[in-house]
Amino acid sequence: MRRARDTPNGKQRVLDAAAERLVAQGYTATTLREIAADIGIKAGSIYHHFESKEDLFIEVFSRGISVMVDAFESVEGVELSCDNPIDRIEQHVRAHLGALFEHGSYTAAHVTAFFTAPVELRSAIVPLRDDYEHRWNALLADVLPELDTARLPIARLFLFGAMNTTIEWFDPRGDLGLDGLANLITVQFLEGVHALNLQRSTR
């Protein structure tokens, strides 16, 4: 059934529009009327798909995590074969950036707007966030066994900070590209700022 994938159903279209508005405006500024208008329906119709505004955005935020987790796992599938530690991290950084820029607005919405949502909503999502963070901790512990375990979560937070804030300034259509950006972030993370010069965006 080609058609079913090409034209998303009503619920899917609501979610897509909600994610895009979330990136642009944050939680509170995004109204159900706007979301409805974006996809050509009326606000009341949204309640056929979701019980409340909060309910709708819980699903948007958890999809943001799902996209990241899927990206992470897709790398793990192929990495077993070969690859040095640096490449392993770089592939995961690339996957994370891909989730941010290449798979719709869900992950971008999560990263930029999560803290603009009400606390009750956020606490429903926290376990999913923890899961993703644990995967990264495990990866870093595996690839960098010499790193003090007390320093490992901090290293991950530095890396997340560098990766996630790219959504505020990076243009994936530019010359560098997501592959080049992933490379720069990885070498800077592992070797420091001096190593940036040694890397070329044309690899």
CA separation for the pair 98, 21 (Å, rounded): 20
What's the token pair of residue 27?
A: 């939680």
59 binds DNA (CB under 7 A): no
Nearest approach in angstroms of CB 50 to DNA is: 8
Q: 4 vs 193, which CB is nearer to a second copy? A: 193
Secondary structure class of 11 (helix, strand, coil): helix
| Dist. CA 158–CA 160, nearest whole Å | 5
Cα angle value 124/127/133 (rounded, 5°)? 140
Number of residues that bind DNA (CB under 7 A): 22
CA end-to-end distance (rounded Å), the chain: 40
Comparison of 41 and 144: residue with beta carbon closer to a second copy: 144
Could you say which of DNA, a second copy, none residue 51 binds, taking C-beta under 5 to 8 angstroms by partner kind?
DNA
In the complex with DNA, which residue's Cβ is closer, 47 or 158?
A: 47
Q: Is 38 in the site for DNA (CB under 7 A)?
A: no
Contact pick of 8, 24, 31, 147 for DNA (by CB under 7 A):
31
Return all residues near 145 (Cβ < 8 A) that are at least 6 apart: none
What are 4's two structure tokens?
A: 């079913």
Residue type, 154: I
Nearer to DNA, 9 or 84 (CB): 9
Of 11-19, 47-55, 75-83, 108-116: span binding a second copy (CB under 8 A)? 108-116
Of 10, 138, 122, 135, which is closest to residue 62 (Cα–Cα)? 122
Quick note: the x/- pattern for DNA over 71-110, rule CB under 7 A, is ----------------------------------------
Instruction: Name which of residues 10 to 69 contact a second copy (CB under 8 A).
Output: 25-29
Per the structure block, which two tokens stand in for 84?
């040095």
Which DSSP helix (H) or strand (E) runs through 108? helix 106-113
Six token digits for residue 167: 């959504």
Considering the rule CB under 7 A, would residue 7 count as an interface residue with DNA?
no
Q: Which positions touch DNA (CB under 7 A)?
A: 9-11, 30-34, 36, 40-45, 47-49, 51-54
Q: Which positions touch a second copy (CB under 8 A)?
A: 25-29, 112, 115-116, 118, 144, 146-148, 151, 154-155, 157-158, 160-166, 168-169, 184-185, 188-197
